[in-house]
Amino acid sequence: MAALRGEVSWFCCGSAWGPCGSAGGGACGTCRSGNYQHAWPNTSDACLAITRPDACGVTGMSRRGCGFRHYTTNLCNGARIGTTIADCGPQTDLFCGERTCCGSACGSNRIIDLTPAAYSVIASLSTGLRPCSVDTV
Amino acid sequence: MHQRMDRRRLLATAALGGVVGATGLGSLAPEAAFAAEATAVGPGLPDPNFAEGRISKISGSMLLVTGSDTVLHSIRITDGTSIWKLHPTTFDRVAVGDGLYARGVRLPDGTLAADSVWVNIVNLHGHIASVGRNLLHLDHKGQRIVAHVVPDRSAAVYNGTPAVSDMSLLRVGRHVQVLGAWHPDTNEIDIATVYAAA
């Protein structure tokens, strides 16, 4: 898979407090906020029917199953983290065309959500959303 | 790597009561600070330098935290710890019962010397069920969430445009992502940033 450019956010899963308490283990049943994991929009036909990255013109998003490794780079600072698929998401089509930039480094459309443990390696949780690139090596 | 080791040693020194404080950590901007981090944890695995849970006791500069999976954590706040609770804040604003995520350095005694602590932070998706004066009602995974607009703090980002304080473009039925701070033991949050699609 060629590096895919877009936006990264974070989500909670597994045992959790507050509004996250109902999150559960995700589509793979293994998701934990403290693990290096992520949600991917194309884990199955059923997942893709919900997330619909194609509706935003996002191509090159390969079908990958639970446990597959992706590497996400924060385009604001170059920090990189490797994670495995644990859930279906983000719901790309709900934010079609959304664009996030750090200076001239920009990403459009939501392509990956990281767990808090993973996101906080490459950015502060309080940033919420960052431009990113995603690859497999 | 050299930068990471220096920074971690400084943080650990501060945690252990050394003379090194926040200024000893250098002048790294937030993004640069995260770029300086590196990790040896493999994809899919739990990160020993990360903790989450709710604060059960505060003793001096130590937070005793009960993880959502019932694991207990001792988290030490140092002069170099950055604390977020709706906005960057100070240790005296942290309270028993608060939820948190923390990242730092795990010391030999098992204590986590915190580099960053995010208190009550939530990042949730939902549909706007109604809009009131200075609040939004959200449907979030079958729950109703009351999201408060905080004057001089809450901001809206409409489809990637720069953040503004004007919430008037938020409409019932619209899907939003809300980054905010939870009010412990309630279904209410304060809004830091609400992201809305076009």
pLDDT of residue B125: 93
Residue from B71, B121, B137 whose CB has the most chain A CBs within 10 Å, to mutate: B121
Interchain CB distance below 8 Å, B31 and A10: no
pLDDT of residue B33: 56
Interchain CB distance below 8 Å, A121 and B121: no
**Helices and strands counted in chain B (H then E):** 2, 13
A10 touches chain B (CB under 8 A): yes
* Amino acid sitting at position B1: M
Residue A42 · residue A61 · CB < 8 Å: yes
| pLDDT tens digits for range B4-59 | 444 544 554 455 444 333 333 333 455 655 665 555 899 999 999 999 999 999 99
Residue A98 · residue B159 · CB < 8 Å: yes
* Amino acid sitting at position A128: G
pLDDT of residue B47: 97
The span from the CA of B183 to the CA of A10, in Å, is 20
**Residue at token pair 């240790």:** B91
Give the pairing type, strands A80-88 and A37-40: parallel
Interchain CB distance below 8 Å, B177 and A102: no
- Give the residue ranges of chain B where pLDDT is below 70: 1-39, 198
pLDDT of residue B35: 61
A35 touches chain B (CB under 8 A): yes
| pLDDT tens digits for range A82-136 | 999 999 999 999 999 999 999 999 999 999 999 999 999 999 999 999 999 999 9
Averaged pLDDT of chain A: 95
The span from the CA of B180 to the CA of B198, in Å, is 21
Q: Has the ipTM of the complex gone over 0.90?
A: yes
The span from the CA of B100 to the CA of B62, in Å, is 14
List helix spans (H) across A4-129: 45-51, 116-122
